[in-house]
A = this chain, B = another copy of it.
């Protein structure tokens, strides 16, 4: 076999355990590419993050969007450091890319993974959900301010912005996602009982986009009631779509209910493919375990598999995931999942599986 395709990936390890899980993943993906021989893949190191910020005063380079546009995709680790306020680091790097690159679909598959246990006794078969998060606006529009700072009458605002354009494109994406899955089931999360503007618009667009997908069964659910359903009737759920903040919350909850946030992947997609999409573990920089070599690399492996699917390498992704699942099933797990392996131990085991 000779390599037919070749991909260049921007590797942005970032902070905390980011470098550990990203380097683990690069080892595994390079082994996969070499073993399969069906594609070439190359990772370029991009040093953005808190160290870069301390040197340059910025989390990313001035030409960061152009830099990224040279790549087929990005693999991101984590951002955030104990000595920088979170809103500076996150808006400096992660949120500085999601919006400007119009990576409007944040996709988070959630399932009870080998090696994790669903903590719910209401889920008969474990959990297998697909979460779609609007990733470009809403509560993360980044607007608002503070007036009379420090005075007893100080007032601050957070302004959420919802546009028909952005809601329509994410709704369409969510219906397509639901349509592509066996159960063809979509729940649209809303809060239009208390949010009378943007969320009412959200509801209206759901109803109108739904007409184009007669084969998808859909319902609407208030975000608060949705948590009750996730806990009480997990089997009734398949694909979920919601706003930037609602799905931020529900996707963490979903990962916890499935068994562990330590394995949860996240894809920041530009479905128009004008810009490279970014793939990242849901977990953060986890400074408490940084440098100890015990970070769980599974979420980043899974993120890389999602990246391979996005690039068109479905078979390679399937192979990678089955190797990772075998290793986890065999109990080769990091301490967060109750195992005794370290990061490199998991990497070596997955590489060995790939070669089998």
Q: Which residues of A contact B (CB under 8 A)?
A: 80, 85-87, 90-91, 95, 119-122, 139-140, 142, 144-146, 151-165, 191-201, 223-225, 227-228, 231-232, 245, 248-249, 251-253, 255-257, 261
Contacts and interface: CB of A to CB of B under 8 A. Distances in A.
A160 B158 contact: yes
A51 B192 CA distance: 22
Contact of A193 (B87, B121, B191): B87
A192 B146 CA distance: 14
A165 to B, nearest CB: 6
B144 A153 contact: no
Given A157-B161, A158-B195, A224-B249, 11 more contacts: A87-B192, A142-B196, A152-B164, A153-B165, A154-B201, A155-B162, A156-B162, A158-B199, A223-B249, A224-B251, A231-B256
A253 B228 contact: yes
Contacts of A192: 85-87
Contacts of A86: 192-193
B119 A196 contact: no
Contacts of A91: 194, 196
A197 B122 CA distance: 39
Contacts of A248: 194, 224
Nearest to A250: B227
Given A224-B249, A257-B231, A197 B120 contact: no
Nearest 9 pairs between A and B by C-beta? A86-B193, A227-B253, A154-B164, A224-B252, A231-B256, A156-B198, A144-B197, A228-B256, A156-B197
Contacts of A146: 197-198, 200-201
